[in-house]
Structure 1
Amino acid sequence: MSSTDAAPVAAAVPREPSPQLVSATAIIRRWVQTNLFGSMRAGLVTLLTVALLVVLVPPLFRWLVTDAVFHGQSRAVCGAGACWAFVTDRIDMFLYGRYPAPERWRVKLAGLVLATFVIAAAWPRNPRQPLCILLLVTLCPLIASTLLLGGVFGLPFVPTDQWGGLSLNILLTYATIVIALPLGIILALGRRSSLPAISWLCTGFIELLRGVPLLAVLFMAMVMLPMFLPEGTGFDRLLRAIVGLSLFVAAYLAEIVRAGVQGIDKGQYEASASLGLSYWNAHRLIVLPQAFRLTVPGIVNTVIDLFKDTTLVSIIGLFDLLGIIGQALKDPNWLGLGREGYVFAAIVFFICCYAMSLYSRSIERRIAQARH
């Protein structure tokens, strides 16, 4: 047989799949059988979930994307789908509130400064991480408040009643944590104090704040806090909200930190005593660093809850993201588009909270690897 006759026969021989492809297919099949169809009940739940997604996802996708309108200056351009033109037309207000448009570069710069300090403090390989954390809670608030308020260095003064939008939610979260975390540590240590007066005082404060709704604390900060100041003394509404949020969150952080401190082995205290360390140095150098490793999930969860709870300030007259959306819906050009506005807010909050959750998981993985 000639070589020309053998060529078609050789070409007709099917190629066997590569070992890598076979291995990947086997892994996928094993995963599906184990996780989705491991039992009759699991298989039934999987099929019902798939059927539910088939029914719900296509119309939701059409409303969100396919039939949606993304540009326009009034609801006259809207159709059967989502009218994202409302969001794009008001996006600056959603981000910056009523902050003067020519000065919004200051909000962007303050956000950039905050992001820089946060990244430097959170980067695990940063050799100067303790210094960056210290600057995050000392120098960064000074720079941000100077940029936002103005009145110095030729910057026009912008009162806090013009601050708003998503930037206000971020500002409230950051300022509250900067105040509440040190206060929570002090309360946690005070509750464990051997002095009854200090222990009872800290315990009473923690239990009182944890037993009162946050909204009640905010109203108390608005109404009662000025009563403790000299007559005629003004107290900014935003500062009142920060004080109320800080006291409330500090009570929860105190219990989280106390649980972490109690989880430290007594041998650590004995070792610190044998080294001649004082009470504060033992906690600063030995106890609290180990306690924070145990309490990372609880602290991050509290920060996530705080970020979502900052939306309550709209009830006391501060226009955060939800408050600004409510104000924008009163515009005659955009009446009746609450769904789009609140869906946008939900997406923004989900992205921010999920990012914090992912960072928390990465910290937990690094701590677990360090232990092994």
Structure 2
Amino acid sequence: MSDTDAQSVFFMRDTMLPQVPPPAGQSGPVRWLRENLFSGWFNTILTICGLIALYFLLRGLLPWFAHSVWTADTLSECRQIIAAKWGPDATGACFAVVRERWTQWLFGFYPRHLYWRPVLTLVLMFVAMAPVLFPGVPRKLMIFSAIYPFLGFWLLWGGSAWVPLGGMAGFVLGYIAWRVLRENRPLVGILVAVVIALLWWLLLAGPVIDLFRSIAPLAIESVRSDRFGGFVLSLTIGVAAIAISLPLGIALALGRQSDMFLIKTLSVGFIEFIRGVPLITLLFTASLLLNYFLPPGTNFDIILRVIIMVSLFAAAYIAEVIRGGLAALPRGQYEAADSLGLDYFQAQRLIVLPQALKISIPGIVSVFIGLFKDTTLVIFVGLLDPLKGITDAVRASIDWKGIYWEPYIFVGSIFFLFCFGMSRYSMYLERRLKRDHR
């Protein structure tokens, strides 16, 4: 056989090679450390500097947390316990203040015998949110989701049951008018629904509520708004503002892209004005100036005024986030809607908005998280938020005068849990709606 013939003969293995473990540096923790912490000289220096900083940080924090005291009646008793256990120079956290005053951080000055009402409202809130947030929940629960805002208002503030029922009646009348006119004149149907609801609330709701109240006085003990505080106040303002600002932001985003000059001008003016004014200014407006624009003798609850202003503030930012999602859609999507013969509202509901909202999910959730944290600014209008208002009230007590870090750690941890939960749900929603798998 010649050399040429020998080279033309190919060898094919008829057995598999036995598996061998990967090299030590190519698997497990060693590979992760090399790729993430020591991938180069600069990354190595940063890792070493970070470890040094972490060492000095933990050297001070770990003993402070390890020497924590959870059972004491006063700050001085806490310090005595720490000195007796770990020496006179030892330092430690006095989380006994959290154990003693946690109800105040959660409920503010809400009557103690009525704590069941905000707790029940919170539980029902998760029930009402379930069909909106998770696809596996029966759609029939959406009826309860629509009723919940009025039920939650009644449970928190109390008073006559006919007040929230009268408010709900305005939405029902507007919805009926919209259903009648939506097929032939959708825009006219929306305008008529808004006008009917406003006429009901401004002219008819008061006398009708008084009539039913005189016939059947269904009521529970009322609670004034100045008794609200802590996380009951933050959740009330935050959840209500989130629920109101999202549809309002969608309407503003669509209005800003409208071809009608008046609607576009009003939407742009509103968005730019709200975004150019600090939230604190709007809160002062809600607290001091809004009553000047209301009829004499009108007593508009301060918490409801704050909810309105916070909702308008968040709606302006959500509108810009959604406008970015609308701008990201290819022009072909709009042309596809036109080719199918869909009108404006059908195209927005079935094709445009679902895709734009999916694109805008991270930005929308970021606005929601910032909105929930901004509820602490209500301290500037005299409401007792958990971070400043309730904490200062606790620290003003003789028993806990001088305590500092522990209340802020407790309040910050609860805020973190809520905000982290919103961010995790955002990521879950993005994964569920993702269609372009590769």
Same fold (TM over 0.5): yes
Higher mean displacement: 286-295 or 342-351: 342-351
Secondary structure of the corresponding residue to residue 28 of structure 2: helix
Q: Is 2:71 the counterpart of 1:71?
A: yes
Secondary structure of the corresponding residue to residue 115 of structure 2: helix
Among candidates 102, 106, 126, match of residue 117 of structure 2: 106
- Alpha-carbon spacing, 1:127–1:271, altered in 2? closer, same or farther (3 Å): farther
Letter aligned with residue 50 of structure 1? L
Q: Is the 8 A contact 1:184 1:251 kept in 2?
A: yes
Among candidates 266, 281, 302, match of residue 346 of structure 2: 281
2:364 counterpart residue number:
299
Structure 1 residue 154, shift from structure 2 partner: 4.8
Letter aligned with residue 78 of structure 1? C
Letter aligned with residue 291 of structure 2? P
Secondary structure of the corresponding residue to residue 334 of structure 1: coil
Written as runs of structure 1 = structure 2, the 5 A alignment for 1:300-315 is 300-315=365-380
Provide the rounded CA distance (Å) in 2 between the counterparts of 1:290 and 1:250: 19
Structure 1 residue 348, shift from structure 2 partner: 1.6
Tell me the alpha carbon deviations over residues 130-179 of structure 1, each in whole angstroms, 9 at most, x when there is no partner.
Answer: x656753x322112111111224552111222111112111111100111
2:63 counterpart residue number:
62
Letter aligned with residue 114 of structure 1? M
Letter aligned with residue 30 of structure 2? R
Among candidates 67, 81, 93, match of residue 82 of structure 1: 93
2:82 counterpart residue number:
none
Larger radius of gyration: 2
Letter aligned with residue 68 of structure 2? A
Identical positions, percent: 40
Among candidates 134, 137, 158, match of residue 223 of structure 2: 158
Structure 1 residue 120, shift from structure 2 partner: 3.3
- Alpha-carbon spacing, 1:231–1:371, altered in 2? closer, same or farther (3 Å): farther
Q: Is 2:351 the counterpart of 1:343?
A: no
Provide the rounded CA distance (Å) in 2 between the counterparts of 1:116 and 1:71: 36
Structure 1 residue 369, shift from structure 2 partner: 5.1
Provide the rounded CA distance (Å) in 2 between the counterparts of 1:267 and 1:328: 59
Q: Is the 8 A contact 2:130 2:137 kept in 1?
A: no
1:228 counterpart residue number:
293
Tell me the alpha carbon deviations over residues 102-124 of structure 1, each in whole angstroms, 9 at most, x when there is no partner.
Answer: 11001100000012222332224
Provide the rounded CA distance (Å) in 2 between the counterparts of 1:179 and 1:300: 14
Q: Is 2:273 the counterpart of 1:208?
A: yes
Written as runs of structure 1 = structure 2, the 5 A alignment for 1:113-124 is 113-124=124-135
Provide the rounded CA distance (Å) in 1 between the counterparts of 2:45 and 2:326: 46
- Alpha-carbon spacing, 1:159–1:27, altered in 2? closer, same or farther (3 Å): same
- Alpha-carbon spacing, 1:368–1:111, altered in 2? closer, same or farther (3 Å): same
Q: Is 2:425 the counterpart of 1:367?
A: no
1:326 counterpart residue number:
392
Written as runs of structure 1 = structure 2, the 5 A alignment for 1:241-256 is 241-256=306-321
Provide the rounded CA distance (Å) in 2 between the counterparts of 1:134 and 1:205: 32
1:146 counterpart residue number:
154
Q: Is the 8 A contact 1:69 1:77 kept in 2?
A: no
Letter aligned with residue 71 of structure 2? H
Provide the rounded CA distance (Å) in 2 between the counterparts of 1:89 and 1:25: 53
Q: Is the 8 A contact 2:362 2:426 kept in 1?
A: yes
Tell me the alpha carbon deviations over residues 264-312 of structure 1, each in whole angstroms, 9 at most, x when there is no partner.
Answer: 2222222222222221121112111111100000000000000110000
Letter aligned with residue 334 of structure 1? W
Provide the rounded CA distance (Å) in 2 between the counterparts of 1:257 and 1:308: 21
Provide the rounded CA distance (Å) in 1 between the counterparts of 2:95 and 2:356: 46
- Alpha-carbon spacing, 1:63–1:19, altered in 2? closer, same or farther (3 Å): farther
Written as runs of structure 1 = structure 2, the 5 A alignment for 1:43-54 is 43-54=44-55
Q: Is the 8 A contact 2:25 2:31 kept in 1?
A: no
Structure 1 residue 338, shift from structure 2 partner: 2.2
Structure 1 residue 78, shift from structure 2 partner: 1.5
Structure 1 residue 229, shift from structure 2 partner: 0.7
Report the aligned-residue RMSD. 2.1
Higher mean displacement: 118-127 or 201-210: 118-127
Secondary structure of the corresponding residue to residue 276 of structure 1: coil
- Alpha-carbon spacing, 1:99–1:19, altered in 2? closer, same or farther (3 Å): farther
- Alpha-carbon spacing, 1:292–1:24, altered in 2? closer, same or farther (3 Å): farther
How many residues in Structure 1 have an aligned counterpart in Structure 2? 351
- TM-score under structure 2 length normalisation: 0.76
- Alpha-carbon spacing, 1:83–1:267, altered in 2? closer, same or farther (3 Å): same
